[in-house]
Chain A
């Protein structure tokens, strides 16, 4: 049971806009920044979004992040086949005094 809750799966067709949710609590998402990681099949995770809505250099503008209260979302617009991957949200938890991850969402491009 992960501290942050994500839907196990999501899907969309090429060109569509897809959102992935991440639900937490006052001790993690509400009080701290939120990061998103993308893990392509058979590879190590990659930082996708940091500080809730910032994109590292090289990450396409199709990816965006937002947060409201104890929930956050990752939005992918103009969905492409290469976006098929597992996506994880993560934040520092003030109560646990450690980093916590969501269980991951497997995105399928139909």
Chain B
């Protein structure tokens, strides 16, 4: 079965750090670029970051650049998101997402497999 399973979420104080993990199975992980997309409670979707198969290309949303770091381990079929200097506005369900067609970060690709999400709550 093709699936993505996120973990590592929880309640954290403002200014602290958290690391999300995503375990991929059922497909050749290294053949695809991967992304993180988040959704605040009751609100819409926001793209966070993307990474190519080799980690040679990485993109970040302006809202997280300089605070979040995306990485991957192809040997372990895993995607990560290191989140530092967390703010209340980072509170959201974080989805691990696979692209449809490429190992590169392409602007004509699409997000075709989503995990169930890991909830991050930033509050004192």
Contact = CB atoms under 8 A, between A and B. Distances in A.
Interface of A: 2, 32-33, 35, 37, 44-47, 50-51, 56, 88, 90, 92, 94, 96-104
Given A45-B45, A98-B47, A92 B108 contact: yes
B108 A32 contact: yes
Interface residues of B, number: 22
A45 B114 contact: yes
Nearest to A96: B62
Given A32-B107, A50-B110, A88-B45, 6 more contacts: A33-B107, A90-B45, A96-B62, A98-B47, A99-B35, A101-B44
A9 to B, nearest CB: 13
A104 B50 CA distance: 21
Interface in B94-117: 95, 100, 107-108, 110-112, 114-117
Nearest to A28: B107
Contacts of A2: 44
Contacts of A90: 45, 47, 111
B73 interface: no
B61 A44 contact: no
B112 A104 contact: no
27 contacts: A32-B107, A33-B107, A33-B108, A35-B111, A37-B45, A37-B111, A44-B95, A44-B114, A45-B37, A45-B45, A45-B114, A47-B100, A47-B112, A50-B110, A50-B112, A51-B110, A56-B100, A88-B44, A88-B45, A90-B47, A92-B107, A96-B62, A98-B61, A99-B35, A99-B37, A99-B50, A101-B44
